[in-house]
Amino acid sequence: GAGVSQSPSNKVTEKGKDVELRCDPISGHTALYWYRQSLGQGLEFLIYFQGNSAPDKSGLPSDRFSAERTGGSVSTLTIQRTQQEDSAVYLCASSLVRNSPLHFGNGTRLTVT
């Protein structure tokens, strides 16, 4: 596909369960980002991958959150022991290099019941 693809588009889970969110960036893009968008809020930076460098995890809100990027392409954001405050839209973006335009996916809407 031409754009950033995220799956699933919607996820409903029970409090305490683990969830995995997937992001397929645009082919050839070296930089990949995860952001979280809560209702009525702006986007909150979570984590950033650049090539083979160690990711910048400084935005992850707790140790229940982790992310990996395999083979410099697909990324998975994992949230363990989900809480109700984790409910949000999780957005993935990619860019050719760090200072080229960001391309966002349509997000995964996570609802924790």
Partner 1 sequence: QQQVKQSPQSLIVQKGGIPIINCAYENTAFDYFPWYQQFPGKGPALLIAIRPDVSEKKEGRFTISFNKSAKQFSLHIMDSQPGDSATYFCAASTDFGNEKLTFGTGTRLTIIP
Per DSSP, helices labelled H in 9-113 are none
Rg of the chain over Cα atoms, rounded to whole angstroms, equals: 13
**Interaction of residue 72 with partner 1, rule CB under 8 A:** no
CA 12 and chain centroid, separation = 16
**Interaction of residue 108 with partner 1, rule CB under 8 A:** no
In degrees and rounded to multiples of 5, residue 31 shows phi and psi of -105, 140
Tell which one of 33, 67, 69, 86 touches partner 1 (CB under 8 A): 33
**Interaction of residue 79 with partner 1, rule CB under 8 A:** no
Cα dist from 86 to 3, 58, 67, whole Å: 26, 17, 15
Task: Considering only the stretches 14-22, 51-59, 65-73, 74-82, report the one whose residues sit in contact with partner 1 under the rule CB under 8 A.
Answer: 51-59
The residues binding partner 1 (CB under 8 A) are: 4, 31, 33, 35, 40-45, 48, 50, 56, 58-59, 91, 93, 95, 98-102, 104-107
